[in-house]
Amino acid sequence: MAHAVKKIVIVGGGFAGINFVKQLGKDNRFQVTLVDKNNYHFFPPLLYQVASAFIEPSNISYPFRRMFEGKSNLHYHYGSLLKVNPGNNTIETDTGILEYDFLVLAIGTETNYFGMENVRQHSRPMKTIDDAINLRNHLLLNMEKASLINDRAEKESLLNIVIAGGGPSGVEIAGMLAEMRQNIATIEYPEIKGILSHIHLIDASPHLLGPMSSKAQKAAFKVLNQLGVKVKLNTAVKDYKDGKVLLADGEMIATKSLIWTSGVIAREVPGLPPDVTGRGRRILVDEFNKVKDTQNIFAIGDICLQVTDNNYPGGHPQLAQVAIQQGSLLAQNFRRQASGKPLKPFSYNDKGSMAIISKYEAVADLPKVSFTGFFAWLIWLFVHIIPLVGFRNKVKLAFSWFWSFITNNPTLRLIIRPGKQEN
Ligand SMILES: Cc1cc2nc3c(=O)[nH]c(=O)nc-3n(C[C@H](O)[C@H](O)[C@H](O)COP(=O)(O)OP(=O)(O)OC[C@H]3O[C@@H](n4cnc5c(N)ncnc54)[C@H](O)[C@@H]3O)c2cc1C
């Protein structure tokens, strides 16, 4: 006798979500509906290149409906999750109610401002494509504003940039903005030539690139110093008001641009049983990614906290590879269960981490070896093209990079502000 087709609703089409869905395409034992508030998947590790006008947003984004073409058991629902109702197996979204047999939560994290309201209101996050485009417009607009005025202090404040957070995103955008300042700003904006403005990178911990090897940390510090970035460690950002960033040691930096890459917190999911969240508001799951105290609800990727992996008793780092591997394994476990096979518990296979610091300079920590410099940079390029969704995106990105690296001058510095005036 044929088994009934199971309805799976998965919320969130990031790394975890699409790797889950990919495994179930064309398996007609499941009807899978992906809910996402954007109609596209995107690649966060390259957001900083969009924010600094180095590549176009479309280079790193791909529409879900295109991804699902030809797979009749995969569906896309445009909407934002509002609430889960475990009692009647439904979720509420801002565009309707959906029923499920199994629910998978994969909506990741949001920017964490650690309760600093002024920072939340006035800084610039870099978490989504919208954030990156807003940041790009803001930085370009400030250069134009600075070109129009004569007051030196005001010019400096428009051109100073403070980046809070010395993890890979902070390091990468600091390096890229410093290079753009050297290669582009001084040539295309003669009105701001000679103005003493700075890029500051601030981190509360004693090292840049916290979880990476000390070799990578030192290399990042050295290269950023050479590029003129003012790196300040062991110092937290405390406030941002009246156009000044206040640091824990009392220093104030006048700037119209505070870029916030300092931390994340899991997105809230109203309606789940009480006591299912742990550190960083992450949802507690078992070794099969099933949410604590539920029967048919799962959580994967950045949003979940799994402490059953012997090598990661405190939970996994919130990284793309963890999300990818959890998404794939959960889908495989659904298929195993449907075939009467035993389920496999999750165990993270760490493939290493890397960050690019400037043109021809990157740092790479692979499982058995760490290296820096040009070779690491080449590997970084390769590693960041392969996982992009869509062959056209890979070719477009490779061409954009090739062109930008040989000319030192990407030509995307357009200020496009649909419908919203920036103040
Ligand atoms: C700027 C930046 C750089 C990074 N660089 C690296 C790196 O170099 N290497 C690395 O390993 N990791 C990096 N990360 C971390 C990595 O991106 C995450 O670990 C990974 O994206 C987690 O995948 P996920 O699927 O859990 O969540 P996400 O990729 O965040 O996906 C969440 C999805 O849920 C959707 N969503 C959110 N809220 C709702 C809602 N209410 N309703 C419906 N849909 C919703 C979003 O639109 C999104 O599609 C970086 C992250 C950022 C922000």
Ligand 1 pocket residue status of 167, Cβ below 6 Å = no
Q: What residues form DSSP beta bridges with 262?
A: none
Distance CA 360, CA 376 (A): 8
Distance CA 276, CA 384 (A): 34
pLDDT, average across residues 144-163: 94
3-state secondary structure 38-101: CCEEECHHHHHHHHCCCCCHHHHEEEHHHHCCCCCCEEEEECCEEEEEHHHCEEEECCEEEECC
Ligand 1 pocket residue status of 165, Cβ below 6 Å = no
Give residue 325 CA to ligand 1 midpoint distance, Å. Answer: 14
Distance CA 87, CA 271 (A): 10
Ligand 1 pocket residue status of 112, Cβ below 6 Å = no
Distance CA 36, CA 94 (A): 11
Task: Give the chain's domains with CATH numbers.
Answer: 6-111+265-338 (3.50.50.60), 117-262 (3.50.50.100)
Distance CA 278, CA 152 (A): 49
pLDDT for residue 421 is more than 70 = no
Distance CA 56, CA 62 (A): 12
Which conformational region is residue 165 in: left (phi greater than 0), alpha (psi within -120 to 50 degrees), or beta? left
18-36 residue pLDDT tens: 999 999 998 999 999 999 9
Which pairing describes strands 257-260 and 124-125: parallel, antiparallel, or unpaired? parallel
Ligand 1 pocket residue status of 127, Cβ below 6 Å = yes
Which residues in 141-160 are b (16+ Cβ under 10 Å) and which e?
ebbeebbeeeeeeebbbbbb
User: With contact defined as beta carbons under 8 Å apart, do 221 and 156 qualify?
Assistant: no
pLDDT band at residue 382 under the 50/70/90 scheme: confident
Positive or negative, the CA dihedral 272, 273, 279, 284 is: negative
pLDDT, average across residues 340-368: 91
SS3 290: strand
For a ligand 1 pocket test, name from 36, 39, 54, 127 the mutation site with the most ligand atoms within 8 angstroms of its C-beta.
36
Distance CA 110, CA 238 (A): 20
- Across the chain, mean pLDDT equals 92
Q: Ligand 1, atom 31: nearest CA belongs to which residue? A: 14
Q: Ligand 1, atom 6: nearest CA belongs to which residue? A: 45
For a ligand 1 pocket test, name from 9, 11, 15, 48 the mutation site with the most ligand atoms within 8 angstroms of its C-beta.
15
pLDDT for residue 303 is more than 70 = yes
Nearest CA-CA partner of 220 in 237, 236, 235, 203: 203
Q: Ligand 1, atom 27: nearest CA belongs to which residue? A: 108
Give pLDDT, residue 230.
97
Give residue 62 CA to ligand 1 midpoint distance, Å. Answer: 14
Task: Note the pTM of the prediction, 2 decimals.
Answer: 0.94
Distance CA 405, CA 55 (A): 11
% of the chain beyond a pLDDT of 70? 97
Ligand 1 pocket residue status of 10, Cβ below 6 Å = no
Q: Ligand 1, atom 38: nearest CA belongs to which residue? A: 107
